[in-house]
Amino acid sequence: MYPDADIPVCQLSVQSHRDATYHFNMGRALAPLLPEGVLIIGSGSTTHKLRTMFFDNRPPPAWASDFDNWVQDAVLSRRYDEVNHFYDKAPSAKIAQPLPDHLYPLHVTIGAAGGNPVSEIIHTSWTLVLSLTPPLRLLN
């Protein structure tokens, strides 16, 4: 994509005391940069409950896969308002994301994609009990 790594980088931090809608709107504020060739990347994970990590090859617990599947389905189905209110809408949300800061980058990138973007999952995997699904490509 950028083999020479000759692009400027500006790192933003999530605001853990704010909610998902705030981060979605932060992304909306960044959307005008896209036509200028700015690449907006958000990093995070769908599940983030480190106390439940395991170090063998067992499948993820039901609460983790249920939440991860809900997030994937909601994003792919363009139910972005539900994604912004995931604690109220998603199964096992408070277990999967005890602190929501690891999911907020998803909200920023959805907002930055503008309008009603089409989403495509480009990677999915599990490491310990962390879902690494949200590498998504959002196309507006």
Cα distance between residue 140 and residue 137, in whole Å: 10
How many helices and strands in the chain, by DSSP H and E? Answer: 6, 4
Cα distance between residue 69 and residue 71, in whole Å: 5
Q: What are phi and psi of 96, to 5 degrees?
A: -70, -35
> E strand or H helix at 139, and its extent?
strand 136-139
Is residue 113 situated within a structural domain? yes
Looking at the structure of the chain, the number of domains it has is 1
Is residue 8 situated within a structural domain? no
At what angle are helices 104-113 and 62-76 packed, to 10 degrees? 10
Residue 123: domain span: 20-139
Tell me the pLDDT of the chain (140 aa) as tens digits.
Answer: 677 877 777 778 889 999 999 999 999 999 998 888 888 888 777 776 655 555 566 678 888 889 999 998 999 999 999 999 999 999 999 998 888 888 899 999 999 988 788 888 877 776 665 666 655 555 55
In CATH, what number is assigned to the domain containing residue 44? 3.40.830.10
